Amino acid sequence: MLRFNLKYFTYAVILFIAEVLIALFVRDSIIRPYGGDFLVVIMLYFGVRAFIKTNPWKIGICVLLFSYLIETLQYINIIDKIGLSNNILAKTVLGYGFEWKDILAYTLGIVVILLLDKDQSTSKNNIKPTINERQVH
């Protein structure tokens, strides 16, 4: 179900800004490659939650599968195959090198956000019946 959630939208925007700052200014071997991957799935999770009201675990799994797809496209060198190897924006957005550590960073990012996201009552599946409702049935 579509709806707008300002809280999740704000989180997504803040993480997007952090991702841009990391991409532009961080040149190390830990934060840029792995911290960025860890944060990008959280950013995508919040971005989806900002507009779609459904089970957070479904969103987490979909974001994780999307991230795995992007990493798989990196594995087959999609940037070169579609002629964008000199396009800095395409290389920044899609990446250009497969690494198993990226898969781990994506997975850890989703696991962490699903464990930390306290507002998981966004679907009927997550709402537990009260004592009175149990007695009626």
In the numeric block, which tokens belong to residue 113?
A: 């956000």
Q: pTM to 2 decimals?
A: 0.82
Give the start-to-end residue ranges of the domains of the chain.
6-136
Residues with Cβ within 8 Å of 3's Cβ and at least 6 positions away in sequence, in order, are 51, 52, 53
Residues 64-101 pLDDT 10s? 999 999 999 999 999 999 999 899 888 877 887 899 99
Confidence (pLDDT) at 136: 47
pLDDT above 50 (res 126): no
pLDDT value, residue 77: 92
Instruction: State pLDDT tens for residues 18-53.
Output: 999 998 899 998 998 899 999 999 999 999 999 999
Per-residue pLDDT, 12: 98
Rounded to whole angstroms, the Cα distance separating 135 from 4 reads 35
- Residue linked to tokens 């532009």: 24
Distance CA 63, CA 110 (A): 8
